[in-house]
Every structure is written in structure tokens, then in C-alpha cells.
């Protein structure tokens, strides 16, 4: 039946496809469109000539023309879009901005407080210390009373406390030392533990103070624990944490829950002991408070064996992180500024 048609639709379609594939710009594409789809174009001519075809062949001819027309129209629209996109890219006006950075998946990193905490845990675990935690909401007994700091004790002024009730029974712990009491009540001696956590005081939020900060607390209790053990453990800890070249200094101090008590400093890691702004020109940075556990603390925790001795220590983790990473404003730890946090990989 095909042979009887006065035109070869397949050949026309093949030629149109061949031509459009070689078109490189919109001007030639428009010429192509006019050639096939224009008012006097090939399809218009074919359609108007349909009446000259034998009656019985007309539906087949009409269907063939329409099918090819549909295919070529689709081809034309695709070609037009591809030419427009290519032109926009060449002019730098692409719908896709190729200069934009790609979507990279962001890799999380640890907060500097977490990094320092993990380092401290690593050092003490290496010395056989267990890691313990305690509640952030404490009772007055665990935070003060059991630590040899009764209500009328002048040392209470050292901590400006967030009380949670009018009776001053519940409070946000001002230090991690209450964990000492809880551990002494729960575990059997000898023991050695550290506790890391958040602590709270009514401090202004400025470059060197924050109402929330982090402490590490340590406790070693047994039958022949003396001040030499305290010195050995804490000197080892500080040299592991800040490098073996730092010097460690012990000075007498006062805490109600230790006797004798010491404040422990390292030679300034910023000026190497020569004196700078960070160390207040003293050449020393105070890191730890420590001492031999006061017998009253053992008694309050329910331990009545008079031969028991032990030492305890505490340090501010925020301060250690500030010294280690040369951070001059404690607020940076809490502001969630990604530019700051991304630096700690």
C-alpha cells in the first residue's frame, strides 16, 4: 500500500532528523522549522495534497504524516532547549551556576571541651582510675555539708550558688566534689576514680567567667596513700597533658575538704615562664586544687577506719582547654559559632 503513496514519508523523516542533528544555532533551527512546519512547508504541502490521493489511501497517508509530524515536533523542542542552554552557558548566564561550590557533606568534629575531657580520661584510665558521674542537681548535704562545709562555714562564700528552692535544700552543684562522697558511699576502698561534668555558679558571663563550666574531680583512697602519691600522680598528669617540658609547682592552699591543701601550677606554656598577659607576668598558670582528704569527709561518707588516707583534686576543664588551644574568651565554648568550632579536628 505504501508504494502507492505519492510520497515517501520515511525518507522525509530521515532527512529531517539528519538535518536537525547537524544544526548548531537557533537561526538554522528556525530555517529548518519553516522548511518542514512553515505555512508553505513540507507538511502543509503534504496535507493539502491529501485530496489528490486515492480515497482509500487517505487515512493511512494522513496517519503517517501526523506520526512523523509529532516525532519531529518533539525533536524540535528538545533541540531548541539544548541550544538555549548552551548559549546561556557560553554567555555565563546558565540556569545552572557552575561556579557555585558543590554540596559537600559536612564532617562533624568534637567540641574542644569534649576533646580535653577525653584526653584527661585517657591519662587517668592509663593510671587505673575509674570514671564516674554524679547528678548536676545536688542536695546541700552532698555539695557542702559532707564536704566539711557547714552552713555557717566562711568557705561557703567561695561558691555563689544557684539554689533551686527557698529552703536551700536543692542546688545546682558548684563543683564535682559531691561525686567523691557518692563514690565513697557506694564503692569499697581502696579506690581511685575521676569524675567529669558540668558545674554551676552565679558568675557573670564574661571573657573569663561563665555560670556553667566543666570540672574534673579525682580521688584516690587506700591505706598508704600520702602526699608523695598526690605529687607523683598529678605531676605525671600535667606533663602528659601539657608536655614533658612543663615545670610543676605546688603551693600551700585552703579547701575545707582537704588537709593539707595545695594549689598546683605549671610553668606558662605560652611564654615558657618568662611572663606574659595570660599568666599575669608570673610565669605560672594555676591548674589544679588538691590535697589530702579531710578525715571529716571520710566520716561524713560513713567510713570510720582511721587508717584510711587519700588525696583528692579538682581542675577546670574550660581553663585547661583555653590554655591548650590558646583561647582567650570562655564564651566561645558556648556560642555555637561554627567558625570557632570547626577548628578542632
| Binding residues vs Zn ion (CB under 5 A) | 268, 270-271, 276, 279
| Nearest to Zn ion of 94, 278 (CB atom) | 278
Residue 326 beta carbon to Zn ion: minimum distance, rounded to whole angstroms: 11
Are 222 and 185 in contact, with CB atoms under 8 Å apart? no
| Nearest to Zn ion of 116, 279 (CB atom) | 279
Residue 278 beta carbon to Zn ion: minimum distance, rounded to whole angstroms: 5
The residue sitting closest to Zn ion, measured at its beta carbon, is: 268
Residue 323 beta carbon to Zn ion: minimum distance, rounded to whole angstroms: 10
Residue 250 beta carbon to Zn ion: minimum distance, rounded to whole angstroms: 19
Write the burial class of residue 327 (CB in 10 Å: 0-12 exposed, 13-18 middle, 19+ buried). Answer: middle
| Nearest to Zn ion of 158, 271 (CB atom) | 271
| Nearest to Zn ion of 57, 276 (CB atom) | 276
| Nearest to Zn ion of 13, 268 (CB atom) | 268
| Nearest to Zn ion of 73, 278 (CB atom) | 278
| Nearest to Zn ion of 225, 288 (CB atom) | 288
Residue 241 beta carbon to Zn ion: minimum distance, rounded to whole angstroms: 17
| Nearest to Zn ion of 84, 251 (CB atom) | 251
Residue 207 beta carbon to Zn ion: minimum distance, rounded to whole angstroms: 17
Are 216 and 120 in contact, with CB atoms under 8 Å apart? yes
Residue 312 beta carbon to Zn ion: minimum distance, rounded to whole angstroms: 28
| CA proximity to 178, closest of 234, 138, 218 | 138
Residue 224 beta carbon to Zn ion: minimum distance, rounded to whole angstroms: 38
Q: What whole-number distance in Å separates Cα of residue 238 and Cα of residue 68? A: 85
Amino acid at each position: 500500500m505504501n508504494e502507492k503513496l505519492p510520497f515517501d514519508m520515511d525518507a522525509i523523516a530521515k532527512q529531517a532528523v539528519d538535518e536537525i542533528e547537524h544544526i548548531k544555532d537557533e537561526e538554522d533551527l528556525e530555517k529548518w522549522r519553516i522548511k518542514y512546519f512553515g505555512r508553505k512547508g513540507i507538511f502543509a504541502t503534504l496535507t493539502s495534497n491529501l485530496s489528490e490521493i486515492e480515497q482509500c489511501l487517505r487515512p493511512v497517508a494522513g496517519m503517517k504524516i501526523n506520526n512523523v509530524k509529532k516525532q519531529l515536533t518533539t525533536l524540535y523542542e528538545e533541540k531548541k532547549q539544548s541550544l538555549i542552554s548552551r548559549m546561556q552557558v557560553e554567555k555565563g548566564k546558565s540556569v545552572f551556576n557552575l561556579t557555585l561550590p558543590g554540596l559537600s557533606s559536612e564532617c562533624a568534629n568534637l567540641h574542644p571541651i569534649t576533646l580535653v575531657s577525653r584526653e584527661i580520661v585517657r591519662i587517668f584510665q592509663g593510671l587505673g582510675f575509674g570514671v564516674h558521674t554524679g547528678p548536676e542537681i545536688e542536695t546541700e548535704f552532698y555539695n557542702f555539708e559532707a564536704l566539711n562545709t557547714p552552713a555557717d562555714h566562711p568557705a561557703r562564700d567561695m561558691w555563689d550558688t544557684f539554689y533551686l528552692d527557698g529552703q536551700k535544700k536543692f542546688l545546682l552543684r558548684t563543683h564535682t566534689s559531691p561525686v567523691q562522697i557518692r563514690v565513697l558511699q557506694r564503692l569499697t576502698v581502696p579506690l581511685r576514680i575521676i569524675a567529669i561534668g558540668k558545674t554551676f555558679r552565679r558568675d557573670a558571663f564574661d571573657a573569663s567567667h561563665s555560670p556553667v563550666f566543666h570540672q574534673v574531680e579525682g580521688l584516690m583512697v587506700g591505706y598508704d596513700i600520702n602526699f608523695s602519691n598526690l605529687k607523683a600522680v598529678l605531676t605525671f598528669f600535667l606533663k602528659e597533658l601539657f608536655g614533658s617540658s612543663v615545670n610543676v609547682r605546688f603551693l600551700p592552699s585552703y579547701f575545707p575538704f582537704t588537709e593539707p591543701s595545695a594549689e598546683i601550677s605549671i610553668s606558662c606554656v605560652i611564654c615558657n615562664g618568662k611572663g606574659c598577659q595570660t599568666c599575669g607576668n608570673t610565669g605560672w598558670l594555676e591548674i589544679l586544687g588538691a590535697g589530702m582528704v579531710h578525715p571529716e569527709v571520710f566520716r561524713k561518707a560513713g567510713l570510720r577506719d582511721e587508717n584510711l588516707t587519700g588525696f583528692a583534686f579538682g581542675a577546670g576543664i574550660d581553663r585547661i582547654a583555653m590554655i591548650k588551644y590558646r583561647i582567650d574568651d570562655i564564651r566561645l565554648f558556648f556560642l555555637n559559632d561554627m567558625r570557632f568550632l570547626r577548628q578542632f579536628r
